Structure 1
Amino acid sequence: MTEQELQNLKYPIGQFDCPETITQKHIEDWITVLEQFPIKFEALVKHLSKEQLDTTYRPGGWTIRQVVHHVSDSHHHSYTRFKWALTEDKPIIKAYFEDRWAELSDSKFEPIQMSIEHLKAIHYKLVSLLKSLSPEDLKRSFIHPETNNEVLLSYNIGNYAWHSKHHYAHVENLMKRKGWL
Structure 2
Amino acid sequence: MLRTLLTGALRGVCRVPPVAPLVQQTQRACFGQLMTTIQKPSLLSAHTLAPASLQLLQLPALGTTGSPPPVRSVTKFSLIKGKRKTVKAVLKRFKRLDWGAWIRTHSGRQKKLFKKSNALRRRLRQHVFTNATQSWLLDKMVTDFWRRPKHYIDDPYAPYHKRDEYFATKSKAFKV
TM-score above 0.5, yes or no: no
TM-score (norm 2): 0.20
Q: Structure 1 or 2: larger helix share? A: 1
TM-score (norm 1): 0.20
Q: Which has the higher contact order (CA 8 A, sep 6+)?
A: 1
